[in-house]
Chain A
Amino acid sequence: DAKTTQPPSMDCAEGRAANLPCNHSTISGNEYVYWYRQIHSQGPQYIIHGLKNNETNEMASLIITEDRKSSTLILPHATLRDTAVYYCIVRVALPTGGFKTIFGAGTRLFVKA
């Protein structure tokens, strides 16, 4: 019951922008899109989230299409330390009324010198 689709891997040259796409065509109107990353074997780290408007913080920018069916995470100047698995997430409603977060396989980003 994956709710998002991401490419399995991407390469990026150090210092260049890394653009990571995600499709979430079944997202409901009030659900946010979340991005996390996981460096090596550490716990996942929150990056950014958004609803409709584009968002920017100190780590990244998030561009969400007008129809909200896809989004792109942008790391403006990728460094070697940005090599990680990047997860695009939307929540899935549970029968109990709560939600669960599904982490798919994500996109493995390789930043190369």
Chain B
Amino acid sequence: NAGVTQTPKFQVLKTGQSMTLQCAQDMNHNSMYWYRQDPGMGLRLIYYSASEGTTDKGEVPNGYNVSRLNKREFSLRLESAAPSQTSVYFCASREPGHFTDTQYFGPGTRLTVL
């Protein structure tokens, strides 16, 4: 049981390049999330997927797209990377429950955009 895995762990891009961050969970959770964390800051929600086939915007969705490929996988795509997107990106999945919110996080992807 690996929990939540993310690839890659580190990435350096040039401005304008595109890339996809991959996330997978093996806990059979319906809900998955993408967050970004800037230095010294809390996490901010980019996009989330309440269930397979659905995605919704979070607090900071501009410049990103997501795909919920199946129940296990939720990817985040940067179409044209900008220096402002330099951050650490965390994927999470959530245990089911209407009033509960126990989330399990991946190790993060550290992205630098030059």
Counting chain B residues whose Cβ lies within 8 A of the other chain, the interface size class is 20 to 34
* Residues 31-50 of chain A, each 1 if its beta carbon lies under 8 Å from chain B, else 0: 11010100001111110010
Cβ of B111 under 8 Å from chain A: no
Q: Would you list which residues of chain B between 62 and 114 have a CB under 8 Å from chain A? A: 88, 90, 92, 99-108, 110
- Known contacts A41-B88, A103-B35; decide if A46 and B104 are in contact (CB<8 Å): yes
Output the least CB separation between A72 and chain B (Å). Answer: 19
What secondary structure prevails in chain B residues at the interface with A?
strand
Please tell me if the beta carbons of B102 and A44 are within 8 angstroms of each other in the complex.
no
Question: Within 8 Å of chain A (Cβ to Cβ): is B48?
Answer: yes
Interface residues on A, range: 20 to 34
Given A41-B108, A42-B107, A43-B108, residue A99 in contact with residue B101 (CB < 8 A): yes
Please report the number of residue pairs spanning A and B whose Cβ atoms sit closer than 8 angstroms: 60
Contact, CB under 8 Å: B42 / A91: no
Q: Which residues of A contact B42 (CB under 8 A)?
A: 87, 102-106
State the Cβ distance, A99 to closest chain B Cβ, in Å. 7
Q: Do B45 and A32 touch across chains, with their CB atoms under 8 A apart?
A: no
CA–CA, A42 and B104, complex, Å: 12
B interface residues, Cβ below 8 angstroms from A: 4, 33, 35, 41-45, 48, 50, 56, 58-59, 88, 90, 92, 99-108, 110
30 contacts between A and B (CB under 8 A): A30-B99, A31-B99, A32-B99, A32-B100, A34-B101, A34-B102, A43-B90, A43-B92, A43-B105, A43-B106, A43-B108, A44-B43, A45-B105, A46-B102, A46-B103, A46-B104, A49-B102, A96-B56, A98-B50, A98-B56, A99-B101, A100-B45, A100-B48, A101-B33, A102-B45, A103-B35, A103-B43, A104-B42, A105-B42, A106-B42
